[in-house]
Amino acid sequence: MMRTRPLKVALLGCGVVGSEVTRIMTTHADDLTQRIGAPVELVGIAVRRPDRVREGVPQELITTDATALVKRGDIDVVIEVIGGIEPARSLITTAFEHGASVVSANKALLAQDGAALHAAAEQHGVDLYYEAAVAGAIPLVRPLRESLAGDRVNRVLGIVNGTTNFILDKMDSSGAGYSEALDEATALGYAEADPTADVEGFDAAAKAAILAGIAFHTRVRLDDVHREGMTEVTAADFASAKQMGCTIKLLAICERAADGKSVSARVHPAMIPLTHPLASVREAYNAVFIEADAAGQLMFYGPGAGGAPTASAVLGDLVAVCRNKVAEATGPGESAYTRLPVSAMGEVVTRYHISLDVADKPGVLAQVATVFAEHGVSIDTVRQQGKDGEASLVVVTHRATDAALSATVEALRKLDTVRDVASIMRVEGE
């Protein structure tokens, strides 16, 4: 039976995403009613700049008092798309206290305070959904939290930032340098005026924390995620990658240890084989590769940002939360029963590609190989080129801990025959 009383929705923020949410709620109102089993009514939109022109947004719904809006008491669902830590955190907890469920796209807040927000939602018997916080329109949170709930996820490997993927793709396909590729990304609107959050990996790290927490049923905060940016990646790195049959991507990697007793989460540039599905992800697209015991290998692909794709994820959550309201139930909350420790980066095992500038004379390779052996790092392949007394030596290792590799590099720097450690890059996706 269709419920006639509408579910009332408040929207916090009306920028690119919020405007699209408003448009879809208006144009698809009848469809949303049928899917939910009750009509939904947008009753208020909180913004900072009320005089800004927002095409298709009813001016009578605009308010600058977000706190009063979430305190109304008759709000069923609050959609938060303002971002940042405060006032978003206070507004969400206030919404919970007044009986409203929350749909959020706030990756930074969820990565930092997800556990506390989940606890507050549970305390007040409401929902907290956040599909849009991880990869725009790509469904990841719900498949991990629900579809794979009966399976054991071992690894999540993904490209979760469109800006960085666009830049690296251009460097790979055209031979452009980092600055040139960044300028093109900025001109096309893929990069912000200040691209730090993207190119230094902060955005991807927040998403990695959220994904690791869901995948491994343990609490992973932003501070637990090892983060390296991509600003030091060069055209020479891509040339080396091509010689190995690889390309370079900025990856978010969440892994369960082989013994199952710990997990790790990290973001950094890495070489991946051209045969790996993630290698073919071009332009500003995102993709996430999941490895599970029973399901095997799964890949999710699509636009990871933008107004319409992100709004699609927000509306999907809105439908789910509203259905729960109609059924007088709540959906799955936080699952952190495993309480697994998060390994430091030094304990993480992976392969490495190291490029050395060395003296072109006999015995150098033997010296370098000895240093690797002394630190327990096994060499897979070596490539050497020399000319006019100078040479380059490229070493690809077998799997080793980051701590062992770091000690090896420090020892290499002390050799008189090693002029410079030109670059170090991890190799993933074997």
d(CA 153, CA 147): 11
**Catalytic, out of 8, 207, 249, 325:** 207
φ, ψ for residue 319 (rounded to 5)? Answer: -60, -45
Residues 52-85, buried b or exposed e (16+ Cβ, 10 A)?
eebeebeeebbeeebeebbeeeebbbbbbbbbee
- For this structure, is 325 an active site residue? no
The structure tokens listed for 264 are: 């790790």
Which of 36, 43, 71 is closest to 58 using CA atoms? 43
Q: Please give the biggest Cα pair distance in the chain.
A: 85
d(CA 212, CA 297): 17
Q: How far is CA 307 from the centre of its chain?
A: 17
The structure tokens listed for 322 are: 């509203």
CA distances for 344 relative to 20, 201, 227, 317, 336, angstroms: 40, 17, 11, 34, 19
Q: Is 295 exposed, middle or buried (0-12, 13-18, 19+ CB in 10 A)?
A: middle
- Catalytic machinery residues: 207
